[in-house]
Chain A
Amino acid sequence: MLGKLIKYDVKALSRYIFPAFILSLVSAIFLRINILLRNNVGENIFTNVMNGLSIVLFVVSVVAISIGAYIAYIIYFYKSTLGDQGYFYMSLPASADEYLVSKILSGAVLMLSAVLVSVLSLLILGAFNPEFNDAFKGLYEIWKEICKVTPGGKIIATLVINGVFSLFSTQFVVAFCILSGQLLGKKKILGAFLAYLVLQAIEGFFGQITLLATLGTINVDSFAYNDVAFAQLFTRLSTGGLIVGTIMMAFEYFVARFFLTKKLNLE
């Protein structure tokens, strides 16, 4: 059942985001062509205008993918749970856990594919492009500097874990907000917003505590002018953030599950 739920959730989500993906890839190609044109043909009004247009298009598509993925997920979650389609999905022979996990995993697929398409678009834009090669060389120099201070592996691991985290965290927040928003009866969307504010408050509160606690573990004396301590701070804050994040996700999941099983109120 879980596999089937995921299959149909992914199918539905991809319908929302597909146009943005196409736009991103096409606009990257378009921009690349325009840059080549400008470099080879030289500047004139035509190439400048085309350049401008293609840059605008590319920026729009970047925004479309990044924001679009979130918006698509939120709209889909709401529609298939509390909207008209909820009458179908909520009557399926699936447990609340299967339902939620399917939404979470399909959301992750959505986020991941958004990232992949963005990377692909950047590659289209930057591969074998001398301007971009310079930028990459610069980044590599900075990376070598950082590796002198902390093991590069650790940094990469932290970034990867945070990355994976961010693929999932939104889904938990959305589930929490939309399902607990039902408390407000007819004003469900308002309820979802209020739930979001409550969540932010809780997160902010625990975030502050974690920050203070983490700072407390740093040896203040050795802190000043010391690159190693700085790196230590970075990784510890990161870890603290991850711990808080995990606890929040668990909290959001259990609340969402509670509302799904005990308080479901499809109007």
Chain B
Amino acid sequence: MSVNLNTVALTKRYGSETAIDNLNLSLESGQIVGLLGPNGSGKTTLIKMISGLLTPNSGEILVADKKIGKESKALVSYLPERCALPDWMKIGELVTMYKDFFNDFDENRAYAMLKDLDLDLKKTFKALSKGNREKVQLILCMSRNAKIYCLDEPIGGVDPAARDYILRTILQNYCEDSTVIISTHLIRDIEGVIDRVLFLKKGQVILNTTVDEIREEKKMSVDALFREVFAC
């Protein structure tokens, strides 16, 4: 068990709005963490800061004791909500590109998963359906042996069967040395898969506990608790 993520007094402002407010968080390895909160609570902002796409206004983030930079990015595997890959490339070329850029990338794993989905490596990314594009991005992301996986809304916008596939892929590539952070709205779907739950409200963590604790002590599902806590 090692601490993969550490934030100290992390703050991020957009103009007059505070997206992340003095956040102190520590996440250990071997966990799948659900980052839950309403729109605008700061989920994506936090994930982007961990991945190095945003710089905080103040405070610190450490990934496996490393500051955000070239070294930390080699340890973080980021799956954005949008399609970030050059869509003119063929699937096979994308695998090669990942292999080129990331030392921890396991191309055999990627090829195996792509084969399972019957995806032709010669097809261009552009030509795929939305669902398949998301799956390819996920496969590339999870074929790395990273310390932290940041998955931003990995199951939104796909059909239930694809959701099952995505969750199974996450479980399949789970590793005891890494931490998986999943940010999502679809709580009911991922409750069974996550260990730990973080409720994020207006840039602060208002709840940091395990799924089992919620179910044992409050005798309700995480989904039900969420609705209670964030009732409008």
Of B54, B84, B88, the contact of A264 (CB 8 Å cutoff): B54
Tell me how far the C-beta of B97 lies from the nearest C-beta in chain A, rounded to whole angstroms. Answer: 7
Q: Are A93 and B86 in contact (CB under 8 A)?
A: no
B53 at the interface (CB under 8 A from A): yes
CA distance A114 to B55 in the complex (A): 37
Closest B residue, CB atoms, query A80: B86
Q: Are A263 and B84 in contact (CB under 8 A)?
A: no
Given contacts A86-B53, A264-B55, contact A91 B73 (CB under 8 A): yes
CA distance A86 to B84 in the complex (A): 7
Q: Are A85 and B71 in contact (CB under 8 A)?
A: no
Q: Are A4 and B80 in contact (CB under 8 A)?
A: no
Q: Are B73 and A87 in contact (CB under 8 A)?
A: no
CA distance A93 to B77 in the complex (A): 10
Q: Are A87 and B84 in contact (CB under 8 A)?
A: yes
Q: Are B102 and A93 in contact (CB under 8 A)?
A: yes
Tell me how far the C-beta of A19 lies from the nearest C-beta in chain B, rounded to whole angstroms. Answer: 13
Q: Are B54 and A12 in contact (CB under 8 A)?
A: no
CA distance A235 to B88 in the complex (A): 47
Closest B residue, CB atoms, query A265: B54
A95 at the interface (CB under 8 A from B): yes
Q: Are A94 and B70 in contact (CB under 8 A)?
A: yes
CA distance A185 to B88 in the complex (A): 29
Q: Are B84 and A88 in contact (CB under 8 A)?
A: yes
Tell me how far the C-beta of B93 lies from the nearest C-beta in chain A, rounded to whole angstroms. Answer: 9
Closest A residue, CB atoms, query B150: A91
Which residues from chain A contact B97 at a C-beta distance below 8 Å?
A: 8
Tell me how far the C-beta of B198 lies from the nearest C-beta in chain A, rounded to whole angstroms. Answer: 21
Of B69, B76, B84, the contact of A84 (CB 8 Å cutoff): B84
Which residues from chain A contact B74 at a C-beta distance below 8 Å?
A: 93
Q: Are B82 and A91 in contact (CB under 8 A)?
A: no
Given contacts A4-B100, A8-B97, contact A93 B82 (CB under 8 A): no
A209 at the interface (CB under 8 A from B): no
Which residues from chain A contact B54 at a C-beta distance below 8 Å?
A: 264-266
CA distance A54 to B102 in the complex (A): 49
Tell me how far the C-beta of B86 lies from the nearest C-beta in chain A, rounded to whole angstroms. Answer: 6
Q: Are A4 and B101 in contact (CB under 8 A)?
A: yes
Of B14, B51, B55, B86, the contact of A262 (CB 8 Å cutoff): B55
Q: Are A263 and B51 in contact (CB under 8 A)?
A: no
Closest A residue, CB atoms, query B50: A91
Which residues from chain B contact A261 at a C-beta distance below 8 Å?
A: 55
CA distance A86 to B51 in the complex (A): 12
Against A, the Cβ 8 Å flags (1 = close, 0 = not) of B76-97 are 1010101111101000000001
CA distance A261 to B97 in the complex (A): 24
Which residues from chain B contact A144 at a C-beta distance below 8 Å?
A: none
A90 at the interface (CB under 8 A from B): yes
A92 at the interface (CB under 8 A from B): yes
Tell me how far the C-beta of B1 lies from the nearest C-beta in chain A, rounded to whole angstroms. Answer: 25
Closest A residue, CB atoms, query B81: A87
Q: Which of A84, A90, A91, A265 has the most CB of B within 10 A?
A: A91
Tell me how far the C-beta of B13 lies from the nearest C-beta in chain A, rounded to whole angstroms. Answer: 11
Given contacts A93-B102, A95-B69, contact A85 B55 (CB under 8 A): no
> Which 10 A-B residue pairs are closest in the complex by CB-CB distance?
A87-B84, A93-B74, A88-B84, A93-B73, A87-B80, A266-B53, A95-B70, A91-B78, A4-B100, A91-B51
7 contacts between A and B (CB under 8 A): A8-B100, A12-B86, A85-B86, A91-B73, A93-B70, A93-B74, A264-B53
Known: A4-B100, A85-B84, A88-B85. 12 other contacts (CB 8 A): A15-B88, A85-B85, A87-B80, A88-B84, A88-B86, A93-B74, A94-B73, A95-B69, A98-B70, A185-B14, A185-B15, A264-B55
